[in-house]
Amino acid sequence: MSDKKPKNVFIEGAISSEFIGNSIAKHQVKTNIGAHNIFLGQVRADNIEGKVVSAIDYTAYQDMANEKFHEIREATFEKFNLTCMHIYHSLGQIKAGEICLFVFVSSPRRKEVFKALEYVVEEIKAKAPVFGKEIFEDETHKWKVNT
Amino acid sequence: MQLNIKYFGLIAEITTCTEETLELSNATIADLKNVLIGKYPELNTKDFQIAQNKEIVSNETLISGEELALLPPFSGG
């Protein structure tokens, strides 16, 4: 474990394709990288008992979540041969079709990034205290539970 | 001992606040749960975990007075 301070992974609002594109561009100077892998979580217009989800409103226990994201990062670097890794999660209301989670892992070799990305995303789903409120088109809501 | 307790998501809807202070001494997490269920009976029907100083703790854990939080099931991503 390093003594690096946890970063803030939260972004207010949806994660834009420009932001994702810029993140990719920033890695072009790191020429030891041979493989990137990206996970994008998108808000799904689920149909629940006849009502359609129009958005998810995300809140989080931010201090704890940033510590958990930091622990997940450190564990991932120990398990896999990665050059770098970035995690961004949205807060606030994210509409169906918009991106709410962006995980980006990079390595000299492809096999590492396939394994590492799945590990990171599953760890986030299980350990990060983030709470999604599914808002329906009629403005009623239901609290989401990860499965 | 004065405890500062944070509430999130569905739990904050039940308590109708996101934070409050309670007076409780020589208590475990199970004792705190009993006090909170007494105050907010609807909590008894809900699934939640408790974090102390940003780590999930079990019923037997002694309350040390650090930051406490009631966390409903996680749904990030």
Q: How many CB pairs lie under 8 A apart between chains A and B?
A: 66
pLDDT score recorded for residue A3 = 54
Of B71, B72, B77, the CB nearest to A41: B77
pLDDT of A2 above 80: no
Q: What would the mean pLDDT of A139-144 be, rounded to a whole number? A: 94
The ipTM value here is 0.95
pLDDT tens-place string over residues A21-47: 999 999 999 999 999 999 999 999 999
pLDDT score recorded for residue B34 = 96
SS3 (DSSP) at B5: strand
Distance, CA of B73 to CA of B54 (rounded, Å): 15
Give one DSSP letter per residue of chain A, joined into a string. Answer: ---PPPPP-EEESPBPHHHHHHHHHHGGG-TT--EEEEEEEE----EETTEEEEEEEEEE-HHHHHHHHHHHHHHHHHHS--SEEEEEEEEEEEETTSEEEEEEEEESSHHHHHHHHHHHHHHHHHH--EEEEEEETTS-EEE----
Average pLDDT value over all residues in chain A: 95
Distance, CA of A76 to CA of A67 (rounded, Å): 14
Q: Do B76 and A146 touch (CB under 8 A)?
A: yes
Q: What would the mean pLDDT of A99-104 be, rounded to a whole number? A: 98
pLDDT score recorded for residue A93 = 98
First CA to last CA across chain B, in angstroms?
Answer: 37
For each of the domains in chain B, give its residue range(s) and CATH number, in order of start: 2-71 (3.10.20.30)
pLDDT of A1 above 70: no
User: Considering only CA atoms, which of A59, A41, A57 is closest in space to residue A136?
Assistant: A57
Of A61, A121, A146, the CB nearest to B75: A146
Q: What would the mean pLDDT of A105-117 be, rounded to a whole number? A: 97
Distance, CA of A138 to CA of A36 (rounded, Å): 40
pLDDT of A58 above 70: yes
Q: Are B5 and B65 in contact, with CB atoms under 8 Å apart? A: no
pLDDT score recorded for residue B19 = 96
| pLDDT band (50, 70, 90) for residue B66 | confident
For each of the domains in chain A, give its residue range(s) and CATH number, in order of start: 36-143 (3.90.1170.40)
pLDDT score recorded for residue A147 = 77
Give one DSSP letter per residue of B11-68, joined into a string. Answer: HHHHHTSSEEEEE--S-BHHHHHHHHHHH-GGGGGS--EEEETTEEE-TTPBP-SS-E
Q: What would the mean pLDDT of A70-78 be, rounded to a whole number? A: 97
Q: What would the mean pLDDT of A67-92 be, rounded to a whole number? A: 97
Distance, CA of A142 to CA of B18 (rounded, Å): 18
Q: Are A146 and B77 in contact, with CB atoms under 8 Å apart? A: yes
| pLDDT band (50, 70, 90) for residue B71 | very high
Distance, CA of A119 to CA of A113 (rounded, Å): 10
Q: Are B8 and B72 in contact, with CB atoms under 8 Å apart? A: yes
pLDDT of A4 above 90: no
| pLDDT band (50, 70, 90) for residue B53 | very high
Interface subset of B 31-70, CB within 8 angstroms of A:
51, 54, 69
